[in-house]
């Protein structure tokens, strides 16, 4: 989540095939589609379905959902619920609804990833030039407790940055709205994170291309998405800079308190939840090009690791990801 003006997403770098982005344009044209969309969280969103589908009212509902989510969880808004919690001293503070749910999910992911995903690194992200969160002291996700209708912090200066998971949760909720409206076949895209509902109007599965890690390079891979699948990518394409002979990105390795280093260019995760795909993509990228694939295999995650300085990039697929490569 980030402020206007719209800019490329922090982590996710997937492109949907609604307009024939992959090869096989004849298939893409076999059934016409239409889309509605807008701007939110500093990026764009779209809902694509068969031509003739009633999308306008549904799109308005999705837009309203995203606005509510932004008011609760955007660290770029000083009036958001998360910003007020971050500014508060040590102790317990009431927190209802999505803030508490997403915070709990973030802490669960921190535990499951052995700290590779750490929602308390916001001040480090800001120190390296990528975020707005001010705080003090070392990151410590164990110092945050969710329960009893609130969220507590163990010390002053401890903050939460849920950007690595919150956008995925917003996408999951938007997918729920689409299902409730009775639309069976659609593709939801929020800043490159995707949820595939049903199938493409042509009858085949939805297809997406993983964006090239470097400008001018070809897409390193393409995926087919089974009905209900969610997919997210973390990478360096849009938020990184070169200095001192290496590339510095926005994804912090909690173990080193510095941007994740190594040969990795992007990590794509496929799963049933956009929130978990979002969070795990961040965690696996932070883990690095060696520990990341090992962690994915240990956890049974379908992931695609793209590494190397230039094309042809090296690909390492874990879990069932290889079955979804085109």
Strands 43-50 and 264-271: unpaired
Among 118, 78, 106, CA closest to 251: 118
**Cβ-contact 53, 32 below 8 angstroms:** no
| Tokens encoding 107 | 């802490």
d(CA 130, CA 122): 9
Nearest 10 degrees: Cα torsion 122, 124, 130, 132: 50
Q: Is the dihedral of CA 175, 302, 214, 76 positive or negative?
A: positive
Among 25, 47, 22, 23, CA closest to 36: 47
Q: Measure the CA angle with vertex 128, ends 125 and 130; round to 5°.
A: 55
164 marked as binding residue: yes
Query: How many CB atoms neighbour CB 259 within 10 A?
Result: 22
Which residue blocks in the chain are alpha helix, DSSP H?
25-29, 56-73, 81-87, 97-112, 122-127, 163-180, 274-299
282 marked as binding residue: yes
**What is the full DSSP assignment across 3-50?**
PSSP---SS--EEE-TT--SS-HHHHHTS-EEEEEEEETTEEEEEEEE
**Cβ-contact 231, 193 below 8 angstroms:** yes
Dmax over CA atoms of the chain, in Å, equals 59
Phi first, then psi, for residue 302 (nearest 5°) are -85, 105
289 marked as binding residue: no
In which order are the strands placed within the sheet that holds 206-210?
14-16, 206-210, 221-225
Query: Which residues are annotated binding-site positions for Mg(2+)?
Result: 164, 278, 282
Query: Which residues are annotated binding-site positions?
Result: 164, 278, 282
């Amino acid at each position: 989540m980030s402020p206007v003006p719209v800019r490329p997403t922090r982590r996710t770098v997937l492109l949907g095939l609604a307009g024939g982005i992959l090869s096989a344009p004849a298939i893409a044209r076999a059934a016409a589609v239409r889309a509605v969309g807008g701007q939110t969280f500093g990026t764009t969103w779209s809902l694509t379905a068969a031509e003739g589908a009633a999308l306008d009212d549904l799109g308005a509902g999705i837009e309203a959902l995203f606005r509510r989510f932004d008011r609760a969880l955007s660290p770029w808004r000083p009036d958001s619920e998360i910003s007020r919690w971050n500014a508060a001293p040590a102790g317990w503070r009431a927190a209802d609804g999505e803030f508490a749910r997403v915070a709990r999910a973030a802490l669960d992911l921190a535990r499951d990833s052995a700290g590779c995903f750490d929602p308390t690194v916001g001040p480090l992200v800001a120190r390296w030039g990528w975020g707005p969160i001010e705080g003090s002291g070392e990151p410590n996700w164990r110092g945050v407790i969710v329960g009893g209708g609130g969220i507590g912090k163990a010390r002053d200066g401890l903050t939460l940055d849920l950007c690595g998971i919150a956008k995925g949760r917003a996408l999951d909720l938007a997918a729920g709205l689409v299902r409730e409206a009775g639309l069976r076949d659609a593709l939801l895209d929020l800043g490159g994170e995707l949820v595939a509902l049903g199938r493409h109007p042509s009858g085949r599965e939805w297809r997406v291309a993983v964006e090239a890690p470097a400008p001018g390079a070809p897409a390193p891979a393409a995926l087919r998405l089974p009905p209900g699948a969610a997919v997210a990518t973390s990478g360096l394409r849009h938020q990184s800079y070169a200095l001192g002979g290496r590339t510095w990105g926005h994804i912090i390795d909690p173990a080193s308190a510095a941007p994740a280093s190594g040969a990795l260019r992007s990590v794509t995760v496929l799963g049933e939840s956009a929130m978990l795909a979002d969070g795990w993509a961040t965690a696996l990228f932070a883990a690095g090009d060696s520990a990341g694939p090992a962690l994915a295999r240990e956890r049974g995650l379908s992931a695609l690791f793209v590494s190397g300085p230039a094309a042809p990039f090296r690909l390492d697929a874990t879990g069932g990801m290889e079955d979804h490569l085109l």
